[in-house]
A and B are shown apart, each in its own frame.
Chain A
Amino acid sequence: MGYRISRNMEASLIDYIKDELASASWNNVNVEKTFAKVYDIDLPTICVRVGDTTHEQAEVGSNSTVRAPFILIDIFAKDDGGRLDLKDFLVSILKHGCPYYDYTVVNGSIQSKVQNGRIRVTNIDDTGVDLGVDKSNLDVHDRYRHLLTLTTSLGRMET
């Protein structure tokens, strides 16, 4: 059994970010996909989620659609400098898009992955998260946060 498209996208993005972090010598940065889990692990952490997805009709008279998933990437940093560096690094790697993989899962764990196109990033929004509360009153995870929102496309029609 394999993941469907949304989970494939999440997993592909997580793999890509992990690989790029490793090759750029960013050490001990966690990449997670569950928001609540972030609070149980060390900083810095990146949380990747697929948000709303639109399926627009590709052409008149056809049921084919074009998927446009909205990706939310939360950055939880140790300090303000780290937050800015990490978000700039992510923007620099994500603007080129990344490989999209089809994952095969056996008994809950990933058995294999095969590249099946690319995730194209058509827009990136870059927002600092200020919860409006004195940082000393916040959990360490909420002190230095940033949010990247990506508009993406797989560049193909789904029949």
Chain B
Amino acid sequence: MYIAKLKTIHGFAKMRTYFKLLDTQARTETKALGNQTPAKMKSIIRSNKVRPQEGQQSKLENAIDVEHFERVTEVGWGVGNISRLNSEAPHWKAINYGSSHMVGKNMPPLFTPGLTRPDSSKFREGRVNYGGRKGTGGGVPVTKPIPPMNYIQKTINFVNRQLNIIQTKLRRR
């Protein structure tokens, strides 16, 4: 009887160690996923940009980062602080969901091929400026709505898939 009890206690101790190990691994994996997530979100934005820039990050990409929080009972992180996005890249919603709010308005001129504004060294390299100069009343009339990039939903999909992989890994331990 006592031996059985001892065995049970021993069993519980083993289980406690096992759960502690699982908990540590879960926290480590979740944290690592948190670090991967902004990179994934930025890569979705980069690969879907309509007017890619010369290796520079856009305001939207610059405003996306991860913030970790860790408490005794929970561990987590958040990507894309909304107040930061609202102040640094207020167009984040229009890019994500698509919008027609620019249709009918005039935009500052675009350069083609779609790169950033050329500096003086690019003079006479054949890049075309459509629509006149910024601030002179010229501009390109916007005729089509902004297509939705859905970078948030695509990132959530990525996170869900990764969480499934983590869960499977932990179950196999």
Contact = CB atoms under 8 A, between A and B. Distances in A.
Interface of A: 35-36, 39, 51-52, 54, 68, 70, 72, 74, 123, 125, 127, 129-133, 137-139, 141-142, 145, 147, 149, 151
B118 interface: no
Contact of A123 (B100, B144, B160): B160
B89 to A, nearest CB: 12
Given A39-B100, A72-B148, 14 more contacts: A35-B98, A35-B148, A52-B157, A68-B161, A74-B98, A74-B148, A130-B93, A133-B101, A137-B101, A139-B101, A139-B103, A142-B99, A149-B157, A151-B160
Nearest to B98: A35
B129 to A, nearest CB: 26
Interface in B5-57: none
Interface residues on B, range: 20 to 34
B97 A129 contact: yes
Interface string B94-119: 10011111010000000000000000
Interface in B118-173: 144-145, 147-148, 150, 153-154, 156-157, 160-161
A72 B143 CA distance: 24
A139 B99 CA distance: 9
Q: Interface centre among A131, A138, A149, by most B CB within 10 Å?
A: A131
Nearest to A145: B97
Contacts of B90: 132
Contacts of B147: 35-36
B76 to A, nearest CB: 18
Given A51-B150, A51-B153, A72-B153, A131 B160 contact: no
B58 interface: no
A36 B145 contact: yes
B155 to A, nearest CB: 10
Contacts of A39: 100, 103, 145
